[in-house]
Amino acid sequence: MELSTNPAAVVVGGGFALAFLFGAIANKANFCTMGAVSDVVNMGHWGRMRMWLLAIAVAIVGANLLAQAGLVDIGKSIYQRPSLSWLSLIVGGLVFGVGMSLAGGCANKNLIRVGGGSVRSLVVLTFLAISGYMTLKGLFGQWRAAWLDPVAIDLTRFGWTDQGLPSLLAWAGGIAPGSARLLVAGALAALLLAFVFADRRFRANPTQWLAGLALGALVVGGWYVSGHLGFGENPETLETGYFATNTRTLESLSFVAPLSYGLELLMLWTDKSLHLSFGIATALGVALGSAAWALATRSFRWEGFASLADLRNQLVGGVLMGFGGVTAMGCTVGQGLSGVSTLAVGSFIALAAIVAGAAATLKYITWRAEREA
């Protein structure tokens, strides 16, 4: 069947292509959220953090311009649901931050390392996927659904249709929704860009600022592929909806739940109800894009565990990231780039919790190392 008549193939193929570029660029620029936090906490160096913040600014501008032009409806994404599960976002974010610090990197960084030859990261991602699946549909999911998710604020009581910051501004200031969107997106992007480019060393490092621009643009591309190209009428049901996404709505880059769905697909391959999705394709694309860059630059190296203690930390970190990523509805890319680009209140809460959990764990690791020295 031609791609033009098969939106699911367009979404899966487009997602893979975007993620392939994401993996190659992230490998080249050493893009890593945990590394960025570690640089700030341990050395006071903001280079990689500025790269990440630049990507956020670009993603915010691009996603909201797409929405303003009517090309996508980011209000339908999972991040914009009018029920603000604040406890899940905080607990999940903190746990994910702890986990990525123990594992030496988030889901995205471990996908990049797998592409570079890290068997250690492959083991981490396997345990992350198992833990994530348990949080989606298993034992951990029962705990999440019973104790965390019910603690939420129903924003519809205040007249909100979603949890976006533009809705808050429109509600508080009586501003038209479209104008509120442009004001919030423009103000946040301007602040981020001013901070990012205020540093002379960052401006003089084209690898980092070009990578920040490109990675943010690829997140915007994800919204366009799944939310515009993948939106249409299902020929079987005649219902209008989104094709080839696990959430059944538009998505952009995110890696924890997709890794779990990918594991499910591999285990239940003969189940005809399961198909390759946008999320699964993007996780695969990041690893292969990173591998392509590593092979092209001859930096591919097989890597194992340094010690039993290293193995223990990596496994614990993987399990914590799986639980935390699903509970917080995203990882450092899922919430930190894709979610934040929608201007959802919950995404900013989850991102703050992830950074706080990582910073606290890194400080503890440093303190413990100094005591044992």
Q: Which DSSP helix (H) or strand (E) runs through 232? A: strand 231-233
Quickly state the pLDDT bin for 174 (edges 50, 70, 90).
confident
Nearest to 116 by CA among 26, 208, 212: 26
Q: Which long-range contacts (CB under 8 A, 24 or more apart) does 364-371 make?
A: 365/101, 366/41, 366/42
The pLDDT score that the predictor gives to residue 372 is 84
Q: Is the pLDDT of residue 7 over 70?
A: yes
Q: Tokens 């799944």 belong to which residue?
A: 226
* Mean pLDDT of the region 27-33: 96
Q: Is the pLDDT of residue 159 over 90?
A: no
What letter does residue 66 receive in the DSSP assignment?
H
Q: Please, is 200 exposed, middle or buried when counting C-beta atoms within 10 Å of its C-beta (0-12, 13-18, 19+)?
A: exposed
Query: How far, in Å, CA of 208 to CA of 151, rounded?
Result: 40
Query: How far, in Å, CA of 346 to CA of 335, rounded?
Result: 9
Q: Tell me, yes or no, if the pTM score tops 0.95.
A: yes
pLDDT tens profile 257-301: 999 999 999 999 999 999 999 999 999 999 999 999 999 999 999
Dig out the tokens for 52 from the structure.
Answer: 């990440």
Contacts of 25 (CB under 8 A, 6+ apart): 31, 211, 214, 215, 218, 289
The pLDDT score that the predictor gives to residue 3 is 45
Q: Is the pLDDT of residue 1 over 60?
A: no
* Mean pLDDT of the region 233-238: 76
Average pLDDT, the chain: 95
Query: How far, in Å, CA of 256 to CA of 353, rounded?
Result: 17
Quickly state the pLDDT bin for 172 (edges 50, 70, 90).
confident
pLDDT tens profile 181-212: 999 999 999 999 999 999 999 999 999 999 99
Report how far apart, in Å, the C-alpha atoms of 211 and of each of 62, 205, 221, 300, 353 are.
Answer: 16, 10, 15, 20, 25
pLDDT tens profile 306-360: 999 999 999 999 999 999 999 999 999 999 999 999 999 999 999 999 999 999 9
Cβ neighbours of 338 (radius 10 Å): 27
Q: Which DSSP helix (H) or strand (E) runs through 234? A: none
Query: How far, in Å, CA of 360 to CA of 97, rounded?
Result: 9
The pLDDT score that the predictor gives to residue 4 is 53
Quickly state the pLDDT bin for 2 (edges 50, 70, 90).
very low
Q: Is the pLDDT of residue 249 over 90?
A: yes
Quickly state the pLDDT bin for 55 (edges 50, 70, 90).
very high
Q: Please, is 267 exposed, middle or buried when counting C-beta atoms within 10 Å of its C-beta (0-12, 13-18, 19+)?
A: exposed
Q: Which DSSP helix (H) or strand (E) runs through 242? A: strand 240-242
The pLDDT score that the predictor gives to residue 26 is 98
Alpha helices in 138-199 (DSSP H): 139-143, 165-173, 177-196
